[in-house]
Amino acid sequence: MKKITKVHKPKENKYIFTEGINYFETGKTSIWGTGDKDTLELLRKIKIHGKCLNLAAGDGRYNLNLLKKTNFVLASDIDEGALSKLLHNTPKKYKKKLDTKAFDITKKFPFESGQFDSIFCTGTLHLFPKKVLQQIVF
């Protein structure tokens, strides 16, 4: 996959919460840092298996943690540039267990029911009003 540097502009009135940046100008680490201490501890302790959907993965703050514990991770986000950075920064030995998919989580998910054994999502769902959140979850 080539590096996607196109900037995805935010449209908060349409629930598109993006950063509006070229992720390849932000360095190798996630723009959000290395992760929340408690979330990292939980990821270290819990057993995760099978296929995991990393929903609203952004530029991959927690993605490597998921790849180390699962058989497969599909990292998703509305911002293709963020996913491109995530993919390019993933160590080669984990890339065979990774795929990415850009889509709008407020719309019907482009997956079959039961395709994933787990879903991981942090730092996003609280941004949506209750009605939109219910559409996402149900």
Per domain, the residue ranges of the chain are 52-138
Per-residue confidence (pLDDT) for residue 27, from 0 to 100? 93
- Which residues of the chain are under the pLDDT cut of 50? none
Per-residue confidence (pLDDT) for residue 67, from 0 to 100? 97
What architecture is the 52-138 domain classified under in CATH?
Answer: 3-Layer(aba) Sandwich (3.40)
Write the DSSP symbol of residue 76.
E
Per-residue confidence (pLDDT) for residue 136, from 0 to 100? 84
Per-residue confidence (pLDDT) for residue 64, from 0 to 100? 97
- The answer to whether 66 and 52 have CB atoms below 8 angstroms apart is yes
Write the DSSP symbol of residue 9.
-
